[in-house]
Structure 1
Amino acid sequence: MKKRDFLKSTAALGLTALLPTSIWALSKNGRLRTAHIGVSSMGGADLAAISSHPLVDVVALCDVDSNALAQAKKLHPNAATYKDYRVMLKEMKSGIDAVIVSTPDHTHAPASMMAMDMGKPVYCQKPLTHHVVEARAMRKKAKEKNLVTQMGIQVHSFYDYKLATLLIQSGIIGKVSTVRAWSPKNWGYDGPEPTGSDPVPETLDWNLWLGTSAERPYKEGYYHPGNWRKLMDYGCGTLGDMGVHIFDTPYNALQLDVPMTITNKCRKPNGFGFPEKNTVTYTFPKTPYTTETLKWVWYDGVGAPEKHKDLLLPNNEKLPEQGAMFIGEKGRLLLPHFMELPRHIVDGKYQELDLSVIKESDNLGEPVKSYDEEGEKHYHEFVDACLGKAECSAPFEYSARLTETILLGVIAGRFPNKTLHWDSKAAKFSEEEANKFLDAPYRDF
């Protein structure tokens, strides 16, 4: 796929394209036929969750690894199988109602855009894209095509996160001035770029795995199946993995848009892997739930977060391994990640949560402490939206902006300790040297 084809303007829509995609789905006996691009690891989890919906028929499976494809085929013996998503979408266009994209990050946008160009609703794993330009293009395409879309941030639909959102918006800690969020995970690589090459496993189509990314020799243990998140050409580091989940609730609760400035304190770039430790500081413009500006600090890597008075807990308790702290005018709210209730802190003491601010119309439900019960909600919401029975809570209109924010922090890692200034309207940095990282050429494959 050529980049010019990916970014070209959508042609004038026909009359049928003006109808919601959900209406088309309802005309097919009230069931949803799904095609899955990427079925190993997280893709396998996505496949299981989507197919658990009683009105879903899995009709197509695609993966560049024949072992993963064979395992998925055992679970869905009636589904057609492919190793090239382009071939699958072209051959099965009329037999597919929705597409699930669960590939490494660098293939999210090419696969999703092709599906949306065909008028298909898309569920795409997080982060939505690998580059800022792609995120903006996907948001635009979903709007032009009037499509049901959802980004795969499952915890967005969990009780604890919805509760935290409602509490913050109720004013429980007043206007929020700062958010501090952290994960000690290390999706970075500070070592040297590998040299030489290894034989490509017979089960792997390396050309299709690379997809639109630059040509590179295969090296065992560096890319497929598990380490690509560490590498600049394919993933988005810890910020693009755990950061998306942990950013989501504060971003949503505070109704943030994209930041004005971004600074990443990290090691010098090596051109191959992301830094193993990052401290990213954002500033955001005012919203109804923040002070004049909002400061957001993200910490990742072993030992994260750095010690700070904002993160001190009552009774000298240890911080949750991962989470976020809202600092407001009237106190703090700690949101562990995940499956734990938020904790209200005032003057160094825990306060009982005031749930009287939660209205019945908020549809919060009851606390759920089982991932098996909570885990499928986000997926089923997408299916129900395709069938005209619900609305998605993380559509590309929202998730593209969240992803853009994440990716700006990733880019800042190429300019350690330098503050970058982002012009959202112009979609570029004031620092010209940073603009070349907003996009990358697509390889023909």
Structure 2
Amino acid sequence: MNNPHFSRRHFLKSSSIAAGMAAFPNLLLGQSKETSKMLQVAAVGCGGKGRGDISEIANGNKIIALCDIDHVRAEDAFKTFPDAKQFFDFREMLAEMADQIDVVTVSTADHMHFPIALEAMRHGKPVFVQKPLTNRIWEARALANFAKEKGLMTVMGNQGATTTGTRLLREWIEAGLIGEVKEVHYWTNRPIWPQGKGLEFPKEPIPDTLNWDIWQGSVATRRDYSPRIHPFAWRGFWDYGCGALGDIGCHSFNSAFWALNLHGDFVVESSRVSEFDDVTAPSRATIEYLFPAKAGRGPVKVLWQDGVGDPNNDADFIRPPGIPDDLELNHEFGQVFVGTEGVMYCSDAYCGRPPELFDDKLKEKIRTIKPVYERVKGGPTQELARAIRGEGPKPVSNFEDHAGPLTEMVLAGNLAVRLGKRVDWDSAGMKVRGMPEADALLRRAYHKGWEPKLA
């Protein structure tokens, strides 16, 4: 199967290495080259997931600036890196320290990914941005185009793009292990935060340690502060997050998107959607994508189910075909690839481990499949750092080739939910065919002073 966006990297250079890998030929060593330059890192978003992203990139690099609108949630990062200068406002940080910064990480609420990443790139900085890349399709396309125009290294924080399991899955599919892939099934127990119709978010006093205005940022509709929005439940809001699909979709869909080259046009339709409103997403939805055949593969159906309490005893759960009847599925996440000659099961959202096979013949066959794709040492931030230093290739989940189009695919599923109609996505035109009313959902209305500056 040929994916034009990624080149294969064959790096079993000698027979001695090949012999050493004979017992399990699919596992390749990560890069071991010593770092030649310690990058100076500015991190925007220092609590929660941001704290983990900072810890990851701090290995071999120097944290020189920490920015967060909530200095209580950022406290641990502040204490761990006491020499880093502290900020509430990323714009002030970049204006003051851009000449000292080598790379910027962005681990904030989804709606702020775009303005922060754009401002960093306008200063010529490579960026790491948590998933989803944005929560509006227009913004994802704009960041991808801007990164290409400026020639900047970028990566999105969908960790599955760096795992060995994802690489094994693609190699096995391309080797024809399970025949032609016809369907891919994904599920999650998300949302694990409140979302649905008629929720209330009572106003509370804004803490002195929180800059609520900057947290709201580019969103035109201003809301009173509520701890039921920040620091976690914003994920259910259409304005700030993008529901369960936006939270997990870029992790889960990554495997099929990369292995099956799901770029381009598709049709997507929602069903069995629970009640929701113009403020928050539904607590449950089933979303089906249909991708037309293209060079190297036939048509593919991708089925997403969220709000699943327990797939093993949920009467409404659509159990993937081909897996053993007595297989207990992961309650939180899962993915199943259904081919004409077998199935593969990944019991997580990231394909972090080798896919599980249920046919002894297939288990034996994988021993003959040679590695193709270079393994990544560390997560996305380290993959980006090596690329910036010139010690590794362009990250797989860079904005232009991967993260942008993948995010568009995910967000198109939310279009189908919000519109309640079958969405025929025209990728080149960045529009829904025959549905001009969808245009208003592709791009947000910006709060005054937060309009994008793409120059």
1:144 matched to 2:149: yes
The number of residues matched between the two structures is: 403
Give how far 1:268 is off: 4.5
In 2, distance between residues paired with 1:301 and 1:324? 15
Shift of residue 214, structure 1, vs aligned partner: 2.5
Structure 1 residues 400-439: Cα deviation after superposition (integer angstroms, max 9, x where no partner): 00000000001211123x2111111211112122221000
| TM-aligned CA distance change 1:309 to 1:121, over 3 Å | closer
Matched, 1:177 2:179: no
- Alignment partners' CA distance in 2, 1:180 and 1:94: 46
SS at match of 1:273: coil
* Offset of residue 379 of structure 1: 2.0
In structure 2, the CA distance between the partners of 1:353 and 1:402, relative to structure 1 (3 Å rule), is farther
C-alpha distance in 2, partners of 1:377/1:221? 31
Q: Which amino acid is 2:184 matched to?
A: V
Deviations 1:100-154 (A, max 9, x none): 0111000001100111111110010000011000011111011111111010011
- Please give the alpha-carbon distance, in whole angstroms, between the structure 2 residues aligned to 1:435 and 1:361: 41
Give TM-score scaled by structure 2 length.
0.83
Could you tell me which of 159, 166, 171 is aligned with 2:164?
A: 159
Aligned equivalent of 1:395: 398
Aligned to 2:369: 358
Instruction: Please state whether the residue corresponding to 2:253 is helix, strand or coil.
Output: helix
- The more displaced of 183-192 and 228-237 is 183-192
Q: Which one of 311, 314, 327 corresponds to residue 317 of structure 1?
A: 327
SS at match of 1:343: coil
- Are 1:164 and 1:335, in contact at CA under 8 Å, matched by a contact in 2? no
After superposition, the Cα gap between the structure-2 partners of 1:181 and 1:84, relative to the gap in structure 1 and judged at 3 Å, is same
Query: Is 1:343 the equivalent of 2:356?
Result: yes
**Structure 1 residues 215 and 435: CA distance shift in structure 2, 3 A:** closer
SS at match of 1:107: helix
* Partner residue in 2 for 1:85: 90
| Conservation of the 8 A alpha-carbon contact between 2:197 and 2:275 | no
1:182–1:304 Cα contact (<8 Å) kept: no
For 1:101-140, list aligned pairs within 5 A: 101-140=106-145
Q: Which residue of 2 aligns with 1:386?
A: 388
* CA apart distance, 1:304: 6.2
- Residue 296 (structure 2) pairs with residue 294 (structure 1): no
Three-state SS of the structure 1 residue aligned to 2:320 is helix
Partner of 1:254: 260
- Alpha-carbon shift at residue 277 of structure 1 (Å): 0.4
Ranges in structure 2 where 5+ consecutive residues have no aligned partner: 1-34, 450-455
Residue of structure 1 equivalent to 2:453: none
2:295 corresponds to 1:284:
no
Structure 2 counterpart of 1:46: 53
Paired amino acid for 1:220:
S
Which residue, out of 268, 281, 293, partners 1:274? Answer: 281
Alignment partner of 1:167: what SS?
helix
CA contact (8 A) 1:198 1:220 kept: yes
Question: Percent same amino acid at aligned positions?
Answer: 33
Report if the CA contact (8 A) 1:232-1:273 is conserved.
yes
- What is the letter of the counterpart of residue 402 of structure 1? L
Aligned alpha-carbon RMSD (Å)? 2.2
Whether contact under 8 Å (1:184, 1:300) holds in the other structure is: yes
TM-score calculated relative to the size of structure 1: 0.85
Instruction: Indicate if the aligned counterparts of 1:188 and 1:274 stay in contact, CA closer than 8 A.
Output: no
Q: Which residue of 1 aligns with 2:18?
A: none
Counterparts in 2 of 1:162 and 1:415: CA distance versus 1, 3 Å: same
Deviations 1:202-229 (A, max 9, x none): 2111101100113433343321111111
- After superposition, the Cα gap between the structure-2 partners of 1:409 and 1:360, relative to the gap in structure 1 and judged at 3 Å, is closer
